[in-house]
Chains A and B, each alone.
Chain A
């Protein structure tokens, strides 16, 4: 909601001006390991067998070359200690796979909803661990669109799902549109929506973008995620999507669920999550 207020603040500051600038001393003072370990399982096909875990490092702010982290040993196991798949930086099963800090498994086993899974990564003599619960996703009821007017007409796309009765669910949403190269992510939960039978559907996504046009095709992905992961993502998105100004909160480094068991102070950024997802496309009418 603060976001809306900030939006309004910007509308009001019509006499204000913005200018792109470069700030000199934004060096990477404290290089850290970043672990992006999202095990995403498609609900409806067998693509789950291929999974990737990406290891990189923080870099100075304006650089978008993220140092790759090689020579790591990675394992993902279930509650009984059984390996879920073999993650290799250079996986012989993949043609032309390069040593690039992206560790791929092509033999990942289908996880069980509600079970806990464990990550262990050893790199440079230090071991990092994390755990997450495999969380499912409901199906989409319908996708519809409407036109709203903020002076100009803007297209709004709504993705409607059911709020499961008796449980609180947490979501990650992803929209890929032709006009941006970075996916638009969002996260949310259904804690505030009614669970009254018959009325328990709600719009998990309300996507408003003035670039949306008729006949444009957009991809919509919806992930079921754990409560902790949603808590992490909401903080991460707040920082990544840029917030500053009088109504922004004090920005801070966002800690995920990864623990350095060798040296606690040398913590890693990122998250290990096991999520079920569905993906669909929608053509703007």
Chain B
């Protein structure tokens, strides 16, 4: 494999032609100066083209002569320009947003053609506008919930945190907000997500064919970019909703040079508590604050400072105080060496903290993690057929598994800091984007990743394995450490190195259709320790080490893409993947304040396969998509020796987020300049669940007796959400624009099953089953404004 890559690389370098010149530059929004990501820049004469990178930069090498260049982007007016190519030059473009065209088709097929030809596959992009139009619970626009309308993306259940991509676990998604990792993506235990849609400009989800640039998670990469801020004039926008209010301010600090962006959102149900209940001393709220400053130093240098701070706070009479949140910040420096070499240097800090205070027990708990990431990425555009990305990064991680301390003097709780863990994660990569012929496009790369577990205090030493097996009773138990050893933080206790090849190929059948294939191997060194259906905010992350090996996944995918004349496009893909070293937990494992995580886990594997169909219509009066996924996601943990039974008797079992069928139908209808209507219909197979296969009596209580895991299913889940947006035509000032969004979630009020509770009536002793449904019909109104 490596040999082939090398040969391909050599061939391409030899084809370097002499009478070619390069144009490069940045594409911006005309009104705001915001850089645009993924804009097509195409030479119309021979359909050669490129797209702008995540900083709006492009580079295109063309032969000497006159070329007609077309710059196109969905929702914007195209620019077509004749250019005389006789020297290397910088050409910046500004695109105007297309607000008028309701009826006409905005997009030419040329830019679509690029994505048909490109080797990139299993990638979904969503425009912020689309995300905002999807009807949401209580009208609260939800960036992460919106991606579950895409094929291959699901969640364990309604109101549950995280998302699952192609049968992968929620901790296997790399969520990057301006390149900084977000560790907890949910507010209110999963009802809402932490990303404020007002603050972002684009979203890109890689489900497969993940470029070598990315590493550290094995299921997906969700790349989100925050807005830079208007460079020309001061603007604001905001909204008043049922759950939260939002306000965004942006504008130039130094015109054309320095701009700022500030966006905040806060839920405010708690502000009404005192009005409804005067004696109330409970509170519950969440907030997000997104900030960014960017400075265009000159044509070749740009500096970005961005930050995100979010928190959830609950307090019940000061006896139960719970707060958790992410904080990230980074500095990035874009430098264009020449019109063929773009670079970005980033220094990124991420933090997640979870705090809990239970006054009636008398303790305070804090856990979390923080890390610093130094990253340098370069992209070199050799010619119109070849570009190479390469770079390296290193992350220093600190994990705090938890600190328990008494919250008052008379508490009997003993202060204890569970030993902090440290690790260094590094990666170096090269990724080649190469067009072999008019028909064949390739993307191949290699990532070399490594993880070193650094020394820690009080490391447990075991006589044998940290998990012991009782041969007679067939149960796994925690081994008792025979001692503890202290290591210095500078010690390398354990190092893992992995080679991660990535490969994608596209073969164009004709101008409107292509077939694609990809293979990827990825390694994940961090693990979210969670044995529940859905991750909870107090789950902790733990690094690989002596007892916990990195998760390794291999995925292959095949795809077919087709553009139809009337602006429909179809993507069909099949995938299969396997994951090695997936953690599973011994029955009854208690993860809370668990000092010896190694003693409650066993290592297994998981696998997933599926078919994804996406039929999309992006332009016209009616837009939207239908997505369908047929899939299977399973996990198995066998015994370590022939005599052990493993977990679930060593049998494969469906993961909690396995959905056989998953259909989404999203439509948007622009009826007039004032009115638009949106709907979202979802139908999916019920969640796998474990029901008791009997019960018995012990200590006077009825005890359910459970059989194998996840062999039952909740009833089918479906619901329809609708919304209508009204934009009044006239406001007194020209600047001010407002819109009303009326939405109804679950319009036919289906009581979808969320879970089943097996318990016993304490007054009659009768065993009972109770179904929990979370969201019934929920109407809401939101007012959004811009100035």
A residues adjacent to B (C-beta < 8 A): 1-2, 4-5, 8-9, 11-13, 15-23, 26-32, 34, 36, 38, 56-64, 66, 148-151, 156, 163, 179-185, 192-195, 199-203, 206, 208, 231, 234-236, 238-259, 264, 267, 269-271
Contacts and interface: CB of A to CB of B under 8 A. Distances in A.
A31 B694 contact: yes
B88 to A, nearest CB: 57
A179 B762 CA distance: 8
Contacts of A202: 412
B699 A183 contact: yes
Contacts of B765: 64, 181-182
Interface in B372-427: 404, 412-414, 416
Contact of B771 (A18, A235, A247): A18
B702 A240 contact: yes
B343 interface: no
Given A20-B770, A245-B755, A199 B536 contact: no
A36 B698 contact: yes
B272 interface: no
- Which residue of A59, A203, A253 has the most chain B CB atoms within 10 A of its CB atom? A253
A16 B704 contact: no
B190 A251 contact: no
Given A19-B751, A240-B704, 11 more contacts: A1-B592, A8-B189, A30-B693, A56-B697, A181-B762, A183-B699, A243-B757, A246-B534, A254-B703, A255-B473, A267-B474
A183 B695 contact: no
Contacts of A264: 472, 474
A32 B763 CA distance: 27
A200 B531 CA distance: 33
B779 to A, nearest CB: 12
Contacts of B758: 61, 242, 244
Contacts of A244: 755-758, 772
Contact of A249 (B161, B356, B532, B759): B532
A58 B588 contact: no
A63 B760 CA distance: 12
Given A18-B772, A23-B769, A252 B709 contact: yes
Contacts of B532: 2, 246-249
- Which residue of B356, B474, B702, B770 has the most chain A CB atoms within 10 A of its CB atom? B702
Contact of B773 (A5, A19, A61, A251): A19
B697 A34 contact: yes
B361 A32 contact: no
A246 B775 CA distance: 15
Given A61-B767, A254-B703, A34 B698 contact: yes
Nearest to A183: B700
Given A208-B360, A253-B705, A240 B698 contact: yes
A60 B694 contact: yes
A23 B96 CA distance: 58
A198 B473 CA distance: 41
Given A19-B771, A58-B695, A252-B709, A239 B704 contact: yes
Nearest to A246: B534
- Which residue of B159, B697, B771 has the most chain A CB atoms within 10 A of its CB atom? B697
Nearest to A149: B317
A249 B536 contact: no
Contacts of B700: 182-183
B588 A234 contact: yes
Nearest to B693: A29
Nearest to B365: A1
B490 interface: no
A165 to B, nearest CB: 13
B696 A57 contact: yes
Contact of B702 (A22, A36, A64): A64
A59 to B, nearest CB: 6
Given A61-B767, A64-B702, A2 B536 contact: yes
Interface in B746-762: 751, 754-760, 762
B597 to A, nearest CB: 15
A17 B751 contact: yes
Given A182-B765, A206-B360, A16 B754 contact: yes
Contact of A182 (B412, B701, B769): B701
Nearest to B411: A202
Nearest to B778: A15
Nearest to B161: A246
Interface in B314-362: 314, 316-317, 319-320, 322, 356, 358, 360-361
A244 B756 CA distance: 6
Contacts of B319: 148-150
B706 interface: yes
A247 B534 contact: yes
Interface residues of B, number: 94
A84 B703 CA distance: 29
Contact of A16 (B284, B360, B533, B775): B775
B728 interface: no
A259 B24 CA distance: 76
B699 A36 contact: yes
Contacts of A181: 762-765
26 contacts: A1-B593, A5-B536, A13-B772, A17-B751, A18-B772, A20-B769, A23-B756, A26-B691, A29-B707, A36-B698, A56-B696, A61-B769, A151-B282, A184-B762, A185-B701, A192-B593, A193-B414, A206-B360, A242-B757, A243-B757, A245-B772, A246-B534, A246-B755, A247-B534, A250-B690, A252-B709
A256 to B, nearest CB: 8
Contact of B692 (A61, A194, A247): A61
A27 B769 contact: no
A266 B279 CA distance: 58
Nearest to A251: B706
A264 B471 CA distance: 10
- Which residue of B280, B281, B538, B772 has the most chain A CB atoms within 10 A of its CB atom? B772
Contacts of B157: 246
B590 interface: yes
A64 B766 contact: yes
- Which residue of B320, B692, B764 has the most chain A CB atoms within 10 A of its CB atom? B692
Nearest to B699: A185
- Which residue of B404, B538, B767 has the most chain A CB atoms within 10 A of its CB atom? B767
B439 to A, nearest CB: 48
Contacts of A245: 533, 754-755, 757, 772
The 9 closest A-B pairs by CB, nearest first: A242-B759, A202-B412, A235-B588, A28-B694, A246-B534, A194-B414, A180-B762, A58-B694, A252-B587
A36 B701 CA distance: 12
Contact of B690 (A22, A31, A149, A251): A251
Given A66-B697, A192-B413, A254 B588 contact: yes
Interface in B648-663: 648
A79 to B, nearest CB: 19
Contacts of A149: 281, 317, 319
Given A34-B698, A246-B536, A249-B532, A19 B754 contact: no
Contacts of B690: 250-252
Given A163-B412, A267-B474, A249 B772 contact: no
Contact of A242 (B159, B190, B760): B760
A58 B702 CA distance: 10
A58 B404 contact: no
A246 B189 contact: yes
B767 A194 contact: no
B258 interface: no
B400 to A, nearest CB: 16
A269 B281 CA distance: 46
A13 B703 contact: no
A264 B416 CA distance: 42
- Which residue of A16, A57, A269 has the most chain B CB atoms within 10 A of its CB atom? A16
Interface in B557-603: 585, 587-590, 592-593
Given A26-B693, A206-B360, A12 B763 contact: no
A2 B763 CA distance: 25
Interface in B692-745: 692-707, 709-710
